[in-house]
Structure 1
Amino acid sequence: MRAFHLLTGAEAPALLDLPVPAPAEHQILLHIAACGLNFADLLMIEGRYQDTPDRPFTLGMEVAGTVAALGAGVTHLAVGDRVAVFGGSGGLAEWGTFDAARAVPLPDSMTEETAAGFQIAYGTSHLALDHRARLCPGETLLVLGAAGGVGLTAVEIGKLMGARVVACARGADRLEAARAAGADHLIDAATQDIRTEMKALGGADVVYDPVGGDQFEAAFRACRPEARILTIGFASGSVPQIKANHLLVKNMTVMGLYWGGYLGFRPEVLTRSLATLFDWHAAGRLRPHVSHVLPLERAAEGLDLLRRRAATGKVVIRI
């Protein structure tokens, strides 16, 4: 089978021919139809992600496809079932083995290409806004990086939850994607001052930040008393330092959200969240945005789109 693989040295990932794996106990063999790309894939290549596997390994965190074989002990799935899986790695290949407990059956309304980019982006935003920040109707939500893979879902989910959504992104095209996802107000990070614009809107109750760096600092200074700031990631490459005395004065809270971490300590929270999201999709309340669908031989090009922040929504590799 073909697989986009990282070898043991410092080489860039390459498309290699590898043996098709066999499922171990409690695993499934998946005939992979599509794999969603994530910023974390770039961090894995650099060895900077918190859950980077030991080399060699195949990239690709989230996939969708058809169950081709069952390992011993798997009784809740059948050969031929369409499922999505958050595997953490192994998705950029024609076949893969994954923990059966992580496989989520797909509704008839969802294509594999949509499903491959659905779990992490929508799951992160829903868990962050609902479970962590407890976003309430009528509150003002500021979404940084609002045209990216997770940012765009935060705009959409925040609007569904009844918030006034302010989307911050760079450039008219990216802001238009955020507006189409439901944003009430737009801030161009390339030409406008985030703090000034947010102050004019009365400040933020919740900040959703996958960017970090200077944008975090500006958003922090534009928060209302009792605001909650969600740190989702650091796409800017800069991890901000938080002044605890400012948290004290404004009674603010800064909280982290690592979606995959819930699999290890409270998987039921993640499972409930995904069930809600799949129900919303089946009811037509979510409109996933996939900006690029590329074949496996162009996986490196897809990752470069993320690196350059040239995509809106998700980049998906069709296997």
Structure 2
Amino acid sequence: MPASFVPPRQVKIGDAAAFAGCTPRAIRHYHGIGLLPEPERGGDDRRRYGYEDMIRLLWIRRMADAGIALEDVRDAFAEGPADAQDGDGIEALLERVEESLAAQETELRRQRTAVQRMRVEGSRVGLLSDLVTERLKGLPEGSLRRADLDTLLVTERIFGPLGAAVQAARFVALATYPALREESDRVDDAEEALDDSVAVDDPRVAQVAAERHAFETALHAAIEESGLDEDDDALFDAWDDAHPETGDDEEDASGSDSGRAMCVLEATGKMPYDFSPARLRCMELAEELSAKNA
């Protein structure tokens, strides 16, 4: 340093911000939240920052760059002694931050695994749980429809991965037997035709209900014939082995709340279906036929 150079005893906010690597607006924010004490103003009514102010500002910037919330930095400074290099408040803060970062790393790994599954299995199939995805493996490409996967997604939300994996047998059978898929489409179209213009006592309602019952009977027979129902038994056994204490299927592999299963009553009031009264009556009649022939 040249002998003739004399450093300033205090600097203005612009110089302080430039040295610390932030903006004057950021420094004013630090003042506003009580993180950086506001210095006295000079004769020109402007703030003047001294050595201790700059040291604190540098520590604030370093901690903020490490991802520590400003409110936590403020609390840490308040808890620790002002003249200590490592106050108790800052030490406790760093411990909490480390725990938080570890939790974030765990979550990022989970998210990365989920994205990788989506890329490997396909965007929609990969969104389903491992239990369901495993059940659908080996099917011909394109044999599963978007509506099939949408149904499984809803079922998994209501009944959990185990319930959706059991239901997947239905779509495996439809993908395996083209004639069943064709009949399924025909019955679906007939049900959709029961719109608001059809009265609940219209003869078509009972007719379509009988057709739905006949189709479901044929589908169940195909599932038994192919041995898919035996696979269901293996699914239950595997699930019980993986959940020996409670058998709880309320969380998927992600552990997120979106994987929490819902009770049927709760789901009924929250999942909308645009079914006409005639179609609802058709569904009731089909269930009555199934119960009568059980």
TM bucket (normalised to shorter chain) is: under 0.3
The structure in which a higher percent of residues are strand is: 1
Indicate the structure (1 or 2) with the bigger Cα radius of gyration.
2
Higher relative contact order (CA 8 A, sep 6+): 1
The structure in which a higher percent of residues are helix is: 2
TM-score (norm 1): 0.22
TM-score (norm 2): 0.24
